[in-house]
Amino acid sequence: MEIAVIADQDTAIGFKLAGVGLIYPVTSVEEARRTLERLSKRDDIGTIIITERIADGLRDIIKELYKKTSLIIVEIPDKHGPIEREVDPIRELIRTTLGVEIKFKKAEE
């Protein structure tokens, strides 16, 4: 199974330098939506890496893909760093799907 990356230009270049072959740099949420829909229909792709800021604009389709496919979608920070959230969408997905809440202990400095 292949790994694909949907990201801004800078993040996409980083993955390209790391050797990932399926790189899709996007400049808008609509372009990202079309790309995600197209990639989700491919049988050879098992994981899609997408930046958090782009994923925020695609939350509806990402939730549907989690329900309908075995596709793994991994959200990563972009060059601006992680988004501070009150509710982590991945943690919320696990809670609603499995009925289990994951709690993390903050690392002591």
pLDDT of residue 93: 61
Q: 105 pLDDT band (50/70/90 cuts)?
A: low
Is residue 106 packed enough to be buried (19+ CB in 10 Å), middle (13-18) or exposed (0-12)? exposed
Are the CB atoms for 14 and 24 separated by under 8 Å?
no
Query: Who contacts 99 (Cβ-Cβ below 8 Å, separation ≥6)?
Result: none
Dist. CA 7–CA 15, nearest whole Å: 9
Hey, what are 56's tokens?
Answer: 């925020």
Can you give the pTM of this predicted structure? 0.74
Does 37 or 96 have the greater pLDDT score? 37
Dist. CA 93–CA 5, nearest whole Å: 21
* Each residue's pLDDT tens digit, 32-89: 999 999 999 999 999 999 998 899 899 899 988 888 888 889 888 877 666 666 666 6
Sketch out the chain's domains with CATH numbers: 2-82 (3.40.50.10580)
pLDDT of residue 103: 62
Dist. CA 77–CA 52, nearest whole Å: 6
pLDDT of residue 16: 93
Q: Name the 3-class secondary structure at 34.
A: helix
pLDDT of residue 67: 83
